[in-house]
A and B are shown apart, each in its own frame.
Chain A
């Protein structure tokens, strides 16, 4: 059905965006975001992140996880591996149908070796992250994290998952 994370994303969107959170490890929380796994099948899953306003993650990576993010709502900016955030301020406006100008826009595929980061503006932000876990069964990229943690709640969540 799918051989890479982009094929999985395209399948999920075309298949009517099935919501089938797993019984195990569906919800994860950190100091800046709550995440829900919307769908998991084998080594693939899609998580939804809803993020607090005026927060930022440190640079980090998710080794062994190929991922691609999709913008949903709010004021979000992603940083590339050089630490520079894309300036998306010109796109902080609605489409004619009332949705955000950036709805559905993607961020380039990260093969798990590149650092990235997230910055959230005053309205909060939400995005989907499609994931292919190449080396093990999926849990959450929140717990499969290499780099400085977001805060104490994040540390607790990682500890609880081990």
Chain B
């Protein structure tokens, strides 16, 4: 496939029927904050699904050399911007008529390793992370991390 940007990859994956092809090597990462699964990886592009436990917040962090585009899936999740401020989405914590979350499908980017963060309240949260690894082969943005780790388990993973 000839994607040039993370957005081209994201749009292709959605239109192609959300192919599920986790890699054999390193598909799953567990930290104090999240459980993640790489749903699809091809060359320097991949999409990971993140589930965040209830009442958890990540420190502000960056993924150098990675263009990221996130899609909201579920829960009471908020993303923090490069200044460390969280976007208040409390008025959007309600269902659509079809039962899905009002925010389902909404996107936010962190391009070129921009700082960002994420937090979830009592319902936990889930999102898709589409990634273009410009400088090296992908593993997980949980490993390619600049900033304080999200806890002791994450710190151990980063130390390896």
Contacts and interface: CB of A to CB of B under 8 A. Distances in A.
The answer to whether A and B come from one shared complex is yes
Interface of A: 16-24, 26-27, 29, 33-37, 40, 48, 50-53, 72-74, 93-95, 97-101, 103, 123-126
Given A16-B17, A36-B126, A103-B21, A23 B28 contact: no
Contact of B74 (A36, A51, A74, A125): A36
Contacts of A37: 74
A27 B125 contact: yes
Contact of A50 (B51, B100, B124): B51
B18 A17 contact: yes
A48 B100 contact: no
A97 B99 contact: no
Contact of A20 (B35, B75, B98): B98
Contacts of A35: 51
Which residue among B104, B125, B126 has the maximum number of chain A CB atoms within 10 Å of its CB? B126
B1 to A, nearest CB: 13
Interface residues on B, range: 35 or more
13 contacts: A26-B101, A27-B124, A29-B51, A50-B51, A52-B30, A52-B35, A73-B38, A97-B21, A98-B23, A98-B24, A98-B25, A100-B27, A126-B37
A50 B17 contact: no
B53 interface: yes
Interface of B: 17-30, 34-38, 41, 49, 51, 53-54, 73-75, 94-96, 98-102, 104, 123-126, 128
Contacts of B23: 73, 94, 98-99
A19 B25 contact: no
Given A21-B101, A26-B75, A100-B22, A124 B125 contact: no
A122 to B, nearest CB: 11
A23 B94 contact: yes
Contacts of B29: 124
B99 A23 contact: yes
A55 B126 CA distance: 23
A50 to B, nearest CB: 4
Contacts of A101: 24
Given A17-B18, A73-B28, A23 B100 contact: yes
A80 B18 CA distance: 31
B93 to A, nearest CB: 8
A19 B96 CA distance: 14
A156 B25 CA distance: 33
Given A26-B126, A124-B30, A125-B28, 6 more contacts: A16-B18, A21-B101, A23-B101, A29-B53, A34-B124, A101-B24
B53 A34 contact: yes
B52 to A, nearest CB: 8
Contacts of B26: 123
Nearest to B153: A52
Contact of A36 (B41, B73, B95): B73
B22 A73 contact: yes
A139 to B, nearest CB: 13
